[in-house]
Every structure is written in structure tokens, then in C-alpha cells.
Amino acid sequence: MPRLKQNSEIIDRATARLAGMKSINTNLDLGKGITALAFSAAIDLARERMAAYNMTLSHLDADRTAMMEAEKAVATMSEKMLIGVAFEYGKDSPEYAMAGGVRKSQRKRPTRKAVDKVA
């Protein structure tokens, strides 16, 4: 399942606040580096970081999908290899056990439990 991309309510509110401040004065300077221009730069930086984060999530999702597909391919090939060994040597052979299978003669069969009847 893909990861959810981030949206920021804080950035949206800050953008609206900046628009309001610019309607007061386009070059608003409140002193000590608190200016409309600095506020706009901070908002732009936050937007860029969020975009980079969301792009990283997209790449991560793509990598995860590719990894899962490769894993499925290995599982399928592993199963085919074991079936091939079983075909060549038999399911009760030591080669089959060496390849990772359980020899037919060593499989535990399920036992039925006796049912107590209460009359």
C-alpha cells in the first residue's frame, strides 16, 4: 500500500497570512529580520522540503514494489528448482532433502483425535 503524501495546513495558513500582510504593505518590515520577504522565503523552503519528502516517498514505494516483485520471482524459481529435484531424484531421496524439501518418508501424518461421546 503506498504511503500517504504530506500536505501542510500550517503552510496553507501561512500563505494566506502572507497574502493578508502583503495587502497591508508589500514591503512589510517588522524589525529584527521579520519581513514579508523572509516569511515568503520560509514558506517557499517549507514547500520545497515537503515536495522533496513526497518525491522520496514515491521513490520508496516504487523500490518496495520492485523488491516485492523480485522476491516473488525468487520464490517461484525456488519452488520450480525443488520440483525439478523431486522430478529428477524423487521426493523420498536424500537429494530432495538436501535441496530443502521434506522427504516423503519423514512427513508426519495428521492423527485424528478420538471424540468422547457423552450420552
Question: What is the pTM assigned to this prediction?
Answer: 0.64
- Structural domain for 18, as ranges: 9-106
Cα gap 77→19, rounded to integer Å = 60
Pick the residue with more confidence: 50 or 108?
50
Cα gap 38→41, rounded to integer Å = 5
Mean pLDDT is lowest, of 47-56, 93-102, 109-118, for: 109-118
Asked whether the beta carbons of 103 and 91 are under 8 A apart, the reply is: yes
How many domains are there within the chain? 1
Q: Confirm whether 87 is domain-assigned.
A: yes
pLDDT tens by residue, 18-71: 999 989 888 888 889 889 999 999 999 999 999 999 999 999 999 999 999 999
Q: Confirm whether 117 is domain-assigned.
A: no
- Measured distance between the N- and C-terminal CA atoms of the chain, rounded to whole angstroms: 54
Q: Confirm whether 4 is domain-assigned.
A: no
Cα gap 33→16, rounded to integer Å = 20
Q: What are the beta bridge partners of residue 35?
A: 29
- Which of 43, 61, 44, 45 has its CA nearest to residue 5? 61
Q: Confirm whether 102 is domain-assigned.
A: yes
Q: Confirm whether 96 is domain-assigned.
A: yes
Q: What are the beta bridge partners of residue 29?
A: 35
Residue type, 102: V
